[in-house]
C-alpha cells in the first residue's frame, strides 16, 4: 500500500496537467500547508546549492484568502525547507511571493505549462547604491531556487548525471542515447523502474542514478530494485525496493508494488541469465508505448557474467537473446517460423554501444500480399 504522501504527490502531478480549477481543488483537499511542504521539498532537491553562500529565503505561497510561508535555509550542514516562524522570517535574505497554484504547476506540470505571472521578489539590504555595483551574495542561490521552478526541463541528462554522481556519463556515454528516446516523454507522469541501485553491500550507499532520473523526469514516480536492502535511500517520488532480479517471485512482488510501468532499465547484475529472467517477468508489466532498456551488454561476451566469447547467437547470452527477437519484428513475413510471445508486442529495437532499447507496442502491420511469390 502506498503512503498518503506518495498519493498526494501523484495527485498533484496529475492535477498540475489540468486546469487551474482542478489544481486549486486538489490543493484545498490536500491542504495548503501539506502542499507547500511537498513542493518546497522538491524545489530544494532540484536546486543544487552546492558552492553557494549561506542564505535564507522566504517563500510566501498564496491560496484563496491565505498565505503559507516556508523558509529555505542553506547552511554548512545542508539545505532544508521548513514552515516559517516569525523570528526566521525576519532574518531572510529574500522573499518570494507567488500563487501556490502557479508554483505547483511550475514544479509538477508538463513542459511549457509554468508561469511566474504572480511572482513578486523582494531583497533585503538592496537600497544602497553599492547594490547596483556588485551582485548580492544571495542572488545566485535564489536564482537556482527559482530556476528549479521555472526551468525544470532545462538541464540535460548528462548534467544531471554529473550532479548526481551517476556513472552513466563519463565511465559510459549513455545520456546521448537516453535523451534521444526519453526527451519526447520527459514531461509525462511516468512510472519508472531501474534494477540496480549501486553502492554494493552498504545499505546507505548508492541511488545516484535513481536521483538523476527523479530530477530528469520531474513528474515521474521512480522505483529502484536491489538485492541489498537499500530502502533507507527512499525519498519523495523515489521508492527503493529489495529483491533479487534472478527471482521471478521477487520481480512479481515488485510489479505489485509499482503497478504498470512506462520505463524499465536493467542496470543490475549484468549476468545473462538474470537479464533474461528479468525481461520475461517484467516485460508483460510494461505499458504499450513503454520502453525496456538493458545496459552494459558487453558482459554478454564475458564468461564470468554467463556470456560467451565467439558464440554470438547463443540465446543463453544477453545479446543472443535480444538478437533473436529482431526477427520477430518481421514475424508476419516469415513462413514456418515458430511464433515467439514477443513477436506481436515489440514494435522497435535500437542497439547502441553496450545498450539496447526495446519499444513495446502492437506489431501487426500485416505481411506481404498473398499473390507475391516468396520462393
The pair phi, psi for residue 133, each rounded to 5°, is: -90, -25
Evaluate whether 317 touches 275 at the Cβ level (below 8 Å). Answer: no
- Residue 279 CA to residue 51 CA, distance in Å, equals 42
pLDDT tens-digit readout, 269-316: 999 999 999 999 999 999 999 999 999 999 999 999 999 988 899 999
pLDDT at 83 (0 to 100): 96
Beta bridge partners of 238: 222, 235
pLDDT tens-digit readout, 18-38: 999 999 999 999 999 999 999
pLDDT at 4 (0 to 100): 75
User: pLDDT tier at 333 (50, 70, 90 boundaries)?
Assistant: confident
- Residue 324 CA to residue 335 CA, distance in Å, equals 16
Asked if pLDDT for residue 185 goes beyond 90, the answer is yes
Give the cell for residue 133: 555595483
Contacts by 360-368, CB closer than 8 A, 24 or more apart: 360/283, 360/286, 360/287, 360/288, 360/289, 360/290, 360/291, 360/292, 361/288, 361/289, 362/288, 363/328, 363/329, 363/331, 364/332, 365/332, 366/332, 367/332, 367/333, 368/333
Classify the phi-psi angles of 354: left when phi > 0, otherwise alpha if psi is within -120 to 50, otherwise beta: left
Average pLDDT over residues 358-368: 89
pLDDT at 311 (0 to 100): 85
Classify the phi-psi angles of 152: left when phi > 0, otherwise alpha if psi is within -120 to 50, otherwise beta: alpha
3-state secondary structure of 325: helix
- Residue 218 CA to residue 16 CA, distance in Å, equals 12
Asked if pLDDT for residue 368 goes beyond 90, the answer is no
For helices 32-47 and 139-150, angle between their N-to-C axes, nearest 10 degrees:
110
User: pLDDT tier at 130 (50, 70, 90 boundaries)?
Assistant: low
- Residue 354 CA to residue 104 CA, distance in Å, equals 39
User: pLDDT tier at 65 (50, 70, 90 boundaries)?
Assistant: confident
- Helix (DSSP H) and strand (DSSP E) numbers for the chain: 12, 12
CA dihedral 181, 167, 217, 296 (to 10 degrees): 40
Asked if pLDDT for residue 2 goes beyond 70, the answer is no
Pick the range with the lowest mean pLDDT from 19-23, 258-262, 292-296, 362-366: 362-366
Q: The pTM is what?
A: 0.93
Average pLDDT over residues 178-196: 98
Distances (CA, A) of 162 to 76, 78, 167, 286, 314: 22, 19, 8, 29, 36
Give me the residue spans of the domains in the chain: 4-150, 157-360
DSSP secondary-structure letter at 303?
G
pLDDT tens-digit readout, 216-255: 999 999 999 999 999 999 999 999 999 999 999 999 999 9
Average pLDDT over residues 179-183: 98
The share of the chain scoring above pLDDT 90, in percent, equals 84
User: pLDDT tier at 124 (50, 70, 90 boundaries)?
Assistant: confident
Calculate the average pLDDT of the chain.
93
CATH of domain 157-360: 3.40.50.150
Please list, in sequence order, all residues whose beta carbon lies within 8 angstroms of the beta carbon of residue 50, skipping any fewer than 6 positions away: none
Give the cell for residue 269: 547484475
Task: Specify the higher pLDDT residue, 130 or 93.
Answer: 93
Residues catalogued as catalytic:
270
Give the cell for residue 54: 549561506
User: pLDDT tier at 3 (50, 70, 90 boundaries)?
Assistant: low
Average pLDDT over residues 325-333: 91
Asked if pLDDT for residue 90 goes beyond 90, the answer is no
Average pLDDT over residues 33-60: 95
pLDDT tens-digit readout, 131-171: 555 567 899 999 999 999 999 999 999 999 999 999 999 98
Q: Which CATH number fits domain 4-150: 3.40.50.11440, 3.30.1050.30, 3.40.50.2300, 3.30.390.30?
A: 3.30.1050.30
- Residue 242 CA to residue 37 CA, distance in Å, equals 28
Amino acid at each position: 500500500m502506498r503512503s498518503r504522501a506518495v498519493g498526494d504527490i501523484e495527485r498533484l502531478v496529475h492535477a498540475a496537467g489540468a486546469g487551474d480549477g482542478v489544481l486549486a481543488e486538489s490543493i484545498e483537499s490536500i491542504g495548503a500547508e501539506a502542499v507547500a511542504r511537498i513542493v518546497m521539498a522538491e524545489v530544494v532537491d532540484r536546486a543544487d546549492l552546492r558552492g553557494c553562500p549561506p542564505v535564507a529565503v522566504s517563500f510566501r505561497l498564496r491560496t484563496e484568502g491565505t498565505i503559507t510561508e516556508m523558509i529555505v535555509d542553506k547552511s554548512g550542514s545542508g539545505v532544508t525547507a521548513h514552515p516559517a516562524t516569525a523570528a526566521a522570517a525576519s532574518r531572510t535574505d529574500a522573499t518570494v511571493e507567488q500563487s501556490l497554484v502557479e508554483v505547483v504547476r511550475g514544479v509538477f506540470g508538463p513542459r511549457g505549462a509554468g508561469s511566474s505571472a504572480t511572482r513578486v521578489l523582494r531583497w533585503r539590504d538592496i537600497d544602497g547604491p553599492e547594490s547596483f555595483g556588485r551582485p548580492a551574495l544571495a542572488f545566485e542561490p535564489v536564482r537556482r531556487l527559482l530556476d528549479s521552478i521555472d526551468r525544470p526541463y532545462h538541464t540535460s541528462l548528462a548534467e544531471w548525471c554529473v550532479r548526481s554522481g551517476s556513472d552513466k556519463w563519463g565511465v559510459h556515454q549513455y545520456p546521448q542515447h537516453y535523451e534521444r528516446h526519453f526527451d519526447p516523454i520527459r514531461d509525462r507522469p511516468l512510472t519508472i523502474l531501474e534494477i540496480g541501485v549501486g553502492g554494493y553491500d552498504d545499505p546507505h550507499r548508492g541511488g545516484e542514478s535513481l536521483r538523476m532520473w527523479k530530477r530528469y523526469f520531474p513528474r515521474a514516480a521512480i522505483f529502484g530494485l536491489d538485492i541489498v536492502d537499500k530502502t533507507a535511500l527512499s525519498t519523495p517520488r523515489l521508492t527503493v525496493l529489495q529483491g533479487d532480479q534472478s527471482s521471478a517471485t521477487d520481480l512479481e512482488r515488485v510489479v505489485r508494488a509499482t503497478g504498470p510501468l512506462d520505463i524499465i532499465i536493467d542496470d543490475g547484475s549484468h549476468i545473462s541469465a538474470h537479464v533474461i529472467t528479468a525481461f520475461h517477468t517484467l516485460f508483460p508489466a510494461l505499458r504499450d508505448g513503454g520502453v525496456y532498456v538493458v545496459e552494459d551488454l558487453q558482459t554478454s561476451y564475458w564468461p564470468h557474467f554467463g556470456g560467451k566469447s565467439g558464440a554470438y547467437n547463443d540465446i543463453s547470452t544477453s545479446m543472443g537473446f535480444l538478437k533473436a527477437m529482431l526477427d520477430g519484428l518481421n514475424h508476419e513475413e516469415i513462413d514456418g517460423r515458430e511464433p515467439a510471445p514477443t513477436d506481436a508486442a515489440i514494435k522497435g529495437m535500437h542497439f547502441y554501444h553496450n545498450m539496447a532499447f526495446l519499444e513495446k507496442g502492437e506489431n501487426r502491420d500485416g505481411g506481404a500480399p498473398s499473390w507475391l511469390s516468396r520462393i
